[in-house]
Structure 1
Amino acid sequence: MPDATISLLRLRSKVFRLAFACLATVAVSLCLAPAAAAQDAAANPPSILLIVTDDQRWDTLWAMPEVQRSLVEPGVSFEESFTTSSLCCPSRASILTGAYPHTTGVYRQGGRFGGFWSFDDRTTIATQLADAGYRTGFFGKYLDAYQRDALKGYVPPGWDRWVAFVHAEYFDYGLTIDGDVHRHGLEPDDYSTDVLASHTEDFIRGTEGPLFALFAPAAPHAPALPAPGDETGFDDLPTWTPPSFDEADRTDKPEHIRALDPLDPGRTETLERLRRNQYRSLQAVDRAVERLLDALGDTGRLDDAVVIFTSDNGLLWGEHRWLKKEVPYEEAIRVPLVVRADAIVGEGARTDRHLVANIDLAPTIAAAAGVELPGADGMSLLPLVEGRAETWRDAFLIEHMRGTNPIPTYCAVRTARYLFASYETGERELYDLEADPFQLQNLAGTEPGLEGRLDTTLRGLCEPPPPGLRPQIGMVATLLGVAAVAGLAVTARWLVARSAERRRVA
């Protein structure tokens, strides 16, 4: 072989080895980056404050000046933030675990498939943080059906400080404080948002080391009673009349929407009164945010803290004639979400439009603290907060199980552009949210190719389907016959075991 050829081969070999070494270095760096971040969090764990309001629509943050000043302006606002179930209990279970309702088993407010008794509280973000050395505190609304166990002194695992509603109200309510029930009456200083804010502030100021505090007031849930002194604000709000309000032509909607009566003047005035009071009740929450951030600042935690503000679900103000939630429409599933993390975000407000959901909150907190969170379906928002996410989801799942209202069981999928819902009745809804943001024209049955693609996405996400959802979305349902009977037996045995365990703890 000529010398020139040998030299060329040696050169190529050196180049190859150098290139391989460079690629290996990059690969190792990329692989170790999350581990390094987790190690850094473990070495310097940030304090974490999670604020979860109740039934707050995504389009109401403008009325909270302190949230605007102290969270929106220095933080990241997620404009496409949603809940995977537009109902309090399943949403709150997902917030605590990072898991879909079909993973948590919590679909309803109570009964066999809902509320406190269906929720396995042995592995939550609180238990994981407590195991990692965090001091943890809960303040406010937990899950429906907790009342009976609250009166027995039960405190869920993972919480060092526990101040929870026996039943969420603004006045005349009970709080279970580390297992002991304390009554509050009708005096101005009994207003629950202020009382819970004081307990949360005391926890922040009196705790050494890293802490996790979850502040969950009742506001602005109906009846949305304002704090004393806030009763007269927002009198000049324009009447709420978006194109979908009191929708006249609902012939393309499912039966439970078609059957609704027009909104008469009396119901419209009641709705307007509730709407004004929801804004008014949020003013106490706004002041609470200021108090809690001041406490973080005064204790030297704010610069490194992660502060998250969100709601469990939204609410309809008469759109499509509906006055509640639980439907898959934007007003019910879209929620406010702001993250302030000065050590990560830097200075200045930023807006993010990735599809994010309540199942992402617990994984975000876990990643910030450098802990594991088993069983989560969601993703950490930290790459989005840091502005370095290269890939992200393009769809997420919404789940609902029929309860006492007429809404059938359904699964729905939301993408950046489309909403597609499939009901147990065989009815379907499909909306192009770019062309039709108010969801006035149901395209189901008119776009077979698009509907088929969304149906495939839905089948991949909605597994297993909510109990009672027959195979209307093309899935092989195994919830019938023997499987259903077996499921009942397993559920019954589990509830008996959990009841015995909770009695032992209490």
Structure 2
Amino acid sequence: MPDATISLLRLRSKVFRLAFACLATVAVSLCLAPAAAAQDAAANPPSILLIVTDDQRWDTLWAMPEVQRSLVEPGVSFEESFTTSSLCCPSRASILTGAYPHTTGVYRQGGRFGGFWSFDDRTTIATALADAGYRTGFFGKYLDAYQRDALKGYVPPGWDRWVAFVHAEYFDYGLTVDGDVHRHGLEPDDYSTDVLASHTEDFIRGTEGPLFALFAPAAPHAPALPAPADETGFDDLPTWTPPSFDEADRTDKPEHIRALDPLDPGRTETLERLRRNQYRSLQAVDRAVERLLDALGDTGRLDDAVVIFTSDNGLLWGEHRWLKKEVPYEEAIRVPLVVRADAIVGEGARTDRHLVANIDLAPTIAAAAGVELPGADGMSLLPLVEGRAETWRDALLIEHMRGTNPIPTYCAVRTARYLFASYETGERELYDLEADPFQLQNLTGTEPSLEGRLDTTLRGLCEPPPPGLRPQIGMLATLLGVAAVAGLAVTARWLVARSAERRRVA
């Protein structure tokens, strides 16, 4: 992206963040991190392992015994962890940068405002760590629409070892290994989670000095093919029937939910098969966690390491008759998050209920390593991991831009108790999650004072709004929107130049 456009986007984001009161919370939190901790990180940088699964719901960790034993029991489990966009590509862009979609410019899987081509890969947690002397390795699923550049041998900056899917699958797939494409077939040894785990383990065992490894398997994304050894597990899994399943009374829901057909027996059986296979596919991930932590232990890194386990987003299993993600419901936006850092946490499991998000991961890694991460919107989780945070945010932004699914563009705010969403259609949703955890009763129009407060909070966070969402956001946002339109021509010229640059790399 050209410097002028990047500067404009960053200026817009900074103006509104400075204008909004939550920045004071960020400033206080940052002040809590003593200079001595940063000096210790610089002198003795910890190795860092980030594990990002694909479409894993927050309520599935019970089925991963190794994660329970080696991460949950000695670590901190974040019970209120969310993705700022319940879609793979924008979420992964936020994980890599610590920035909201309105900062990264990645709202969708591909096309305009989405995918690999919309992502500025010059400033990420990988580049920050590489500049500080870390050896960095990526293993697994990157960003959607990366396939074409993968075939041309393009490796994003900041990565010393690069093993990425050409297209994420369980069998019959390609991996680009430092720019060279390697094909894998249908044999048991080709199972992608195991192959990626081997590459990651080799990287850990073969690296001297501090390292950063990002392990991103395809599991448990549909079709959720399990490893051959796991094909028969979870046969006795109870049928999924929460109160919101196949919700009959959707008269208070937006039109895109009201229009959904009932879940007939055929679709229900397909869903149950997917659920079983998702749990089955996670067993190979569970074994991979054991392998990678053993590698950290065998190389003398585990005592000082920071290990983070999370997912890019969740998934609905028929709640409100929806079978995908992208909606602002808990099943889509809530994700598992566990942090193990023995040198910080000490002994024994701990649960944290602060509002945290995927935008906090890169700042956490940067703080642990003692490096700067420009342009991040998130906050380091280290004060929470250490149990010393005196203040924290009280609201999170969720963003979505209409794509191939019929979910309208929206911005939503999640607080400790409420979820409030505002759609481009003018529709709204408001749920009291303490009284109504399954989001069955839309309170829009019944609590005007509460709705007004949440709307004010949302407008402060959702700046600039996703393209297509035009709430009454004030003159400054309007002027900045005009400036953004004026920058489209510059962006187009940059896309042409970037394409030429990548052709030269290939």
Q: Same fold (TM over 0.5)?
A: yes
Counterpart contact for 2:193–2:284, Cα < 8 Å: yes
Assess if the C-alpha contact under 8 Å between 1:243 and 1:438 holds in 2.
yes
What is the rounded CA distance, in whole Å, between the counterparts of 1:487 and 1:9 in structure 2? 10
Partner SS, residue 480 of structure 1: helix
Contact 1:455–1:473 under 8 Å retained in 2: no
Q: Would the aligned equivalents of 1:327 and 1:407 in 2 still touch at CA under 8 Å?
A: yes
CA positional deviation for 1:114: 0.4
Distance 1:92 1:281 in 2: 21
Q: What whole-Å deviation, never above 9, does each CA across 1:372-415 have from its counterpart, x for those lacking one?
A: 00000000000000000000000010000001111100000000
C-alpha deviations, 1:254-282, integer Å up to 9, x for none?
A: 00000000000000000000000000000
Q: How much does 1:454 deviate?
A: 0.4
Please, which moves more after superposition, 409-418 or 465-474?
465-474
Q: Which moved more, 1:459-468 or 1:31-40?
A: 31-40
**Structure 1 pair 452/174, CA: closer, same or farther in 2 (3 Å)?**
same
Q: Distance in 2 between matches of 1:39 and 1:18?
A: 28
1:412-462 Cα deviation digits (max 9, x unpaired): 000000000000000000000000000000001111100110011001100
Distance 1:61 1:474, change over 3 A: farther
Distance 1:5 1:485 in 2: 10
Cα pair distance change 1:129/1:259, threshold 3 Å? same
Structure 1 position 112, deviation (Å): 1.2
Report Cα offsets for 1:38-58 as digits up to 9, x if no partner: 111000000000000000000
Kept in 2, the 8 Å contact 1:244–1:439? The answer is yes
RMSD: 10.9
Maintained 8 Å contact 2:361/2:381: yes
Contact 1:459 1:475 in 2 (8 A): no
Larger radius of gyration: 1
3-state SS of paired residue (1:293): helix
Summarize the Cα distance change of 1:259–1:21 in structure 2 as closer, same or farther, 3 Å threshold: closer
Structure 1: runs of 5+ lacking an equivalent? none
Contact kept in structure 2, 1:77 and 1:338, CA below 8 Å: yes
Indicate conservation of the 8 Å contact 2:48/2:211, yes or no. Answer: yes
Residues 317 and 475 of structure 1, relative CA distance in 2, 3 Å threshold: farther
- Would you say the 8 A contact 2:26–2:392 is kept in 1? no
**1:126–1:256 CA distance, 2 compared to 1 (3 A):** same
After superposition, the Cα gap between the structure-2 partners of 1:11 and 1:168, relative to the gap in structure 1 and judged at 3 Å, is closer
Cα 1:411–1:3 change in 2 (3 A) is closer
| Shift in alpha-carbon separation, 1:423–1:480, aligned structure 2, 3 A | farther
Structure 1's 497 and 232: CA in aligned 2 closer, same or farther, altered over 3 A?
Answer: same
- The answer as to whether partners of 1:468 and 1:479 remain within 8 angstroms in 2 is no
How far the C-alpha of 1:486 sits from its partner, in A, is: 2.2
Superposed CA deviations along residues 192-235 of structure 1, whole A, max 9, x for unmatched, are: 00000000000000000000000000000000000011000000
Can you list the C-alpha shifts for 1:88-139, whole angstroms capped at 9, x where unaligned?
0000000000000000000000011001000000000000000000000000
Which deviations, in whole Å up to 9, do the C-alpha atoms of 1:51-108 show, x marking residues without a partner?
A: 0000000000000000000000000000000000000000000000000000000000
Instruction: Verify the 8 A CA contact 2:20 2:461 in the aligned structure 1.
Output: no
Provide closer, same or farther for how the CA distance between residues 179 and 443 of structure 1 changes in structure 2, counting only shifts above 3 A: same
DSSP 3-state at the match of 2:242: coil
Deviations 1:6-49 (A, max 9, x none): 99999999999999999999999996953221111000000000
| TM-score, with length taken from structure 1 | 0.93
**Matched residues, number:** 506
Q: Secondary structure at the match of 1:476?
A: helix
CA contact (8 A) 2:29 2:392 kept: no
Higher mean alpha-carbon deviation, 6-15 vs 449-458, is at 6-15
Contact 1:471 1:477 in 2 (8 A): no
Distance 2:166 2:158 in 1: 19
Matched, 1:428 2:428: yes
Could you say which residue in structure 2 is the equivalent of 1:127?
A: 127
SS of the residue 1:477 aligns to: helix
Q: CA deviation at 1:496?
A: 2.0
Distance 1:369 1:261, change over 3 A: same
* Contact 2:16–2:463 (CA under 8 A) maintained in structure 1: no
Q: Give the direction of change, closer, same or farther, for the CA distance of 1:37–1:236 in structure 2 (3 Å limit).
A: same
Q: Deviations over 1:320-343 (max 9, x none)?
A: 000000000000000000000000
Distance 1:432 1:409, change over 3 A: same
Structure 1 residue aligned with 2:393: 393
Distance 1:239 1:474, change over 3 A: farther
CA distance in structure 1 between the partners assigned to 2:445 and 2:106 by the alignment:
32
Residues in 2 aligned to 1:34 and 1:351: alpha-carbon distance in whole angstroms: 24
When residues 182 and 16 of structure 1 are mapped into structure 2, their CA distance, relative to the original with a 3 A threshold, is closer
Q: Return closer, same or farther for 1:28/1:95 CA change in 2, 3 Å cut-off.
A: closer
Contact 1:459–1:474 under 8 Å retained in 2: no
